[in-house]
Amino acid sequence: MKSFEELLKHSTEVHGHICAGQVIGVRMCLLALSLINIDDPKGSDRKKIYTVVEIDRCATDAIQAVTGCSLGKRSMKYLDHGVMAATFVNLESGKSVRITALEEARDRASKYCSDIDNKYARQLEAYKVMPEHELFKVEHVQLDIPKEDLPGRPTRRVQCEVCSEWVQDSRDVLKEGKTLCIGCAKGRYYTVVSD
Protein backbone atom coordinates (compact mmCIF):
# COMPACT_ATOMS: atom_id res chain seq x y z
CA MET A 1 0.00 0.00 0.00
CA LYS A 2 1.23 3.48 -0.83
CA SER A 3 1.90 6.04 1.88
CA PHE A 4 -0.73 8.50 3.08
CA GLU A 5 1.05 11.33 1.23
CA GLU A 6 1.13 9.40 -2.06
CA LEU A 7 -2.53 8.41 -1.74
CA LEU A 8 -3.52 11.99 -0.91
CA LYS A 9 -1.61 13.26 -3.94
CA HIS A 10 -3.38 10.77 -6.22
CA SER A 11 -6.76 11.50 -4.65
CA THR A 12 -6.21 15.23 -5.14
CA GLU A 13 -5.39 14.64 -8.81
CA VAL A 14 -8.58 12.62 -9.26
CA HIS A 15 -10.72 15.17 -7.39
CA GLY A 16 -9.11 18.24 -8.96
CA HIS A 17 -7.98 20.06 -5.81
CA ILE A 18 -6.85 19.45 -2.24
CA CYS A 19 -9.45 19.86 0.47
CA ALA A 20 -10.31 18.55 3.92
CA GLY A 21 -12.67 16.01 2.35
CA GLN A 22 -9.76 14.45 0.49
CA VAL A 23 -7.83 14.04 3.74
CA ILE A 24 -10.86 12.53 5.48
CA GLY A 25 -11.53 10.15 2.60
CA VAL A 26 -7.95 8.91 2.36
CA ARG A 27 -7.63 8.44 6.13
CA MET A 28 -11.02 6.74 6.25
CA CYS A 29 -9.87 4.26 3.59
CA LEU A 30 -6.57 3.52 5.28
CA LEU A 31 -8.33 2.78 8.55
CA ALA A 32 -11.08 0.70 6.92
CA LEU A 33 -8.74 -1.34 4.75
CA SER A 34 -6.63 -2.26 7.75
CA LEU A 35 -9.74 -3.30 9.71
CA ILE A 36 -11.14 -5.54 6.96
CA ASN A 37 -7.76 -7.00 5.97
CA ILE A 38 -7.45 -5.58 2.46
CA ASP A 39 -3.79 -4.91 1.64
CA ASP A 40 -3.85 -4.25 -2.10
CA PRO A 41 -7.26 -2.83 -3.11
CA LYS A 42 -6.22 -1.94 -6.65
CA GLY A 43 -4.16 -5.10 -7.20
CA SER A 44 -4.47 -8.59 -5.78
CA ASP A 45 -7.44 -7.65 -3.56
CA ARG A 46 -9.37 -5.67 -6.19
CA LYS A 47 -12.15 -8.24 -6.52
CA LYS A 48 -12.51 -8.57 -2.74
CA ILE A 49 -13.50 -5.00 -1.89
CA TYR A 50 -16.91 -3.34 -2.06
CA THR A 51 -17.87 0.06 -0.68
CA VAL A 52 -21.11 1.84 0.12
CA VAL A 53 -20.82 5.62 0.23
CA GLU A 54 -23.53 7.72 1.87
CA ILE A 55 -22.73 11.17 0.47
CA ASP A 56 -21.84 12.72 -2.88
CA ARG A 57 -19.08 14.97 -1.60
CA CYS A 58 -15.30 15.22 -1.77
CA ALA A 59 -14.52 12.19 0.39
CA THR A 60 -16.28 9.92 -2.11
CA ASP A 61 -13.72 10.83 -4.78
CA ALA A 62 -10.96 9.98 -2.31
CA ILE A 63 -12.58 6.63 -1.53
CA GLN A 64 -12.71 5.82 -5.22
CA ALA A 65 -9.11 6.96 -5.76
CA VAL A 66 -7.72 4.88 -2.88
CA THR A 67 -9.83 1.72 -3.16
CA GLY A 68 -10.34 1.58 -6.91
CA CYS A 69 -14.03 0.93 -6.25
CA SER A 70 -16.39 2.66 -8.66
CA LEU A 71 -19.99 2.75 -9.77
CA GLY A 72 -18.98 1.56 -13.23
CA LYS A 73 -17.29 -1.55 -11.82
CA ARG A 74 -20.29 -2.09 -9.51
CA SER A 75 -17.88 -2.27 -6.58
CA MET A 76 -19.24 1.00 -5.16
CA LYS A 77 -22.84 1.66 -4.18
CA TYR A 78 -24.08 5.20 -3.61
CA LEU A 79 -26.86 5.79 -1.09
CA ASP A 80 -28.05 9.39 -0.95
CA HIS A 81 -28.18 9.69 2.85
CA GLY A 82 -26.22 12.93 3.17
CA VAL A 83 -23.94 11.46 5.84
CA MET A 84 -20.14 11.64 5.63
CA ALA A 85 -19.87 7.89 6.04
CA ALA A 86 -18.89 4.82 4.10
CA THR A 87 -19.04 1.09 4.64
CA PHE A 88 -16.16 -1.06 3.43
CA VAL A 89 -16.67 -4.78 2.82
CA ASN A 90 -14.23 -7.62 2.29
CA LEU A 91 -16.35 -9.76 -0.04
CA GLU A 92 -14.18 -12.82 0.59
CA SER A 93 -14.37 -12.83 4.39
CA GLY A 94 -17.58 -10.84 4.86
CA LYS A 95 -15.81 -8.54 7.30
CA SER A 96 -17.38 -5.06 7.11
CA VAL A 97 -16.84 -1.72 8.79
CA ARG A 98 -18.82 1.52 8.62
CA ILE A 99 -16.81 4.66 9.28
CA THR A 100 -18.38 8.06 9.91
CA ALA A 101 -16.49 11.35 9.99
CA LEU A 102 -17.24 13.03 13.30
CA GLU A 103 -18.73 16.52 13.11
CA GLU A 104 -16.89 17.42 16.32
CA ALA A 105 -13.59 17.10 14.45
CA ARG A 106 -14.25 20.49 12.84
CA ASP A 107 -14.07 22.19 16.23
CA ARG A 108 -11.15 20.03 17.37
CA ALA A 109 -9.05 21.25 14.44
CA SER A 110 -7.99 24.33 16.38
CA LYS A 111 -6.47 22.05 19.03
CA TYR A 112 -4.01 20.78 16.41
CA CYS A 113 -3.48 23.79 14.15
CA SER A 114 -4.38 26.89 16.15
CA ASP A 115 -1.83 28.94 14.22
CA ILE A 116 -3.87 28.68 10.99
CA ASP A 117 -6.52 31.41 10.79
CA ASN A 118 -8.56 30.13 7.84
CA LYS A 119 -10.90 27.45 9.23
CA TYR A 120 -10.86 25.34 6.05
CA ALA A 121 -7.06 25.33 5.85
CA ARG A 122 -6.94 24.59 9.60
CA GLN A 123 -9.28 21.61 9.19
CA LEU A 124 -7.33 20.28 6.21
CA GLU A 125 -4.04 20.31 8.13
CA ALA A 126 -5.53 19.11 11.41
CA TYR A 127 -7.24 16.14 9.80
CA LYS A 128 -3.83 14.96 8.61
CA VAL A 129 -2.56 14.56 12.21
CA MET A 130 -5.69 14.16 14.33
CA PRO A 131 -5.95 10.76 16.04
CA GLU A 132 -8.43 8.42 14.35
CA HIS A 133 -10.67 8.23 17.41
CA GLU A 134 -11.16 12.03 17.30
CA LEU A 135 -11.85 12.02 13.58
CA PHE A 136 -14.02 8.93 13.07
CA LYS A 137 -16.68 6.72 14.56
CA VAL A 138 -16.06 3.08 13.65
CA GLU A 139 -18.77 0.44 13.64
CA HIS A 140 -18.24 -3.21 12.78
CA VAL A 141 -21.32 -4.13 10.76
CA GLN A 142 -22.86 -6.93 8.75
CA LEU A 143 -23.90 -6.15 5.23
CA ASP A 144 -26.14 -8.39 3.15
CA ILE A 145 -25.53 -7.34 -0.44
CA PRO A 146 -28.20 -8.49 -2.90
CA LYS A 147 -26.71 -10.49 -5.76
CA GLU A 148 -28.06 -7.93 -8.26
CA ASP A 149 -25.87 -5.27 -6.59
CA LEU A 150 -22.62 -7.23 -6.72
CA PRO A 151 -19.90 -6.69 -9.32
CA GLY A 152 -20.13 -8.86 -12.41
CA ARG A 153 -22.43 -9.39 -15.33
CA PRO A 154 -26.08 -8.35 -15.08
CA THR A 155 -28.20 -10.88 -13.22
CA ARG A 156 -31.20 -10.23 -15.44
CA ARG A 157 -32.40 -7.98 -18.28
CA VAL A 158 -36.03 -7.25 -19.10
CA GLN A 159 -37.75 -4.86 -21.49
CA CYS A 160 -40.19 -2.24 -20.25
CA GLU A 161 -43.65 -2.93 -21.66
CA VAL A 162 -44.37 0.79 -22.08
CA CYS A 163 -41.24 2.53 -23.40
CA SER A 164 -39.31 -0.58 -24.58
CA GLU A 165 -36.10 0.43 -22.75
CA TRP A 166 -34.07 -2.42 -21.29
CA VAL A 167 -33.77 -2.66 -17.51
CA GLN A 168 -30.96 -4.57 -15.82
CA ASP A 169 -30.29 -6.08 -12.42
CA SER A 170 -33.85 -6.31 -11.07
CA ARG A 171 -34.48 -2.57 -11.25
CA ASP A 172 -37.77 -3.22 -13.05
CA VAL A 173 -41.13 -2.68 -11.38
CA LEU A 174 -44.21 -4.88 -11.67
CA LYS A 175 -47.25 -2.58 -11.84
CA GLU A 176 -50.78 -3.63 -12.77
CA GLY A 177 -49.42 -6.86 -14.24
CA LYS A 178 -46.85 -5.12 -16.47
CA THR A 179 -43.08 -5.10 -16.25
CA LEU A 180 -41.98 -1.46 -16.29
CA CYS A 181 -38.85 0.63 -15.97
CA ILE A 182 -38.78 2.93 -12.95
CA GLY A 183 -39.46 5.96 -15.15
CA CYS A 184 -42.68 4.49 -16.51
CA ALA A 185 -43.74 3.14 -13.13
CA LYS A 186 -42.98 6.13 -10.92
CA GLY A 187 -42.38 9.07 -13.21
CA ARG A 188 -39.27 10.39 -14.90
CA TYR A 189 -36.68 12.68 -13.38
CA TYR A 190 -36.54 14.58 -16.69
CA THR A 191 -38.89 16.06 -19.29
CA VAL A 192 -38.28 15.44 -22.99
CA VAL A 193 -38.30 18.80 -24.79
CA SER A 194 -37.61 17.53 -28.34
CA ASP A 195 -36.66 14.35 -30.18
Ordered by start, the domain boundaries in the chain are: 4-148, 153-186
Instruction: Summarize pLDDT for 25-84 with one digit per residue, the tens.
Output: 999 999 999 999 999 999 999 999 999 999 999 999 999 999 999 999 999 999 999 999
Whole-number Å distance between alpha carbons of 67 and 162? 39
CB 67, CB 91: distance < 8 Å: no
Which listed CATH number (3.30.1330.130, 3.40.50.510, 3.40.50.12140, 3.40.50.1820) goes with 4-148?
3.30.1330.130
Q: CA 17, CA 19: separation in Å to the nearest integer?
A: 6
**Residues 173, 183: Cα–Cα separation, whole Å:** 10
pLDDT (tens digit per residue) in 69-120:
999 999 999 999 999 999 999 999 999 999 999 999 999 999 999 999 999 9
Topology classification of domain 153-186: Wheat Germ Agglutinin (Isolectin 2); domain 1 (3.30.60)
Burial 85-111 (b: 16+ CB within 10 A, else e): bbbbbbbeeebbbbbbbbeebbebbee
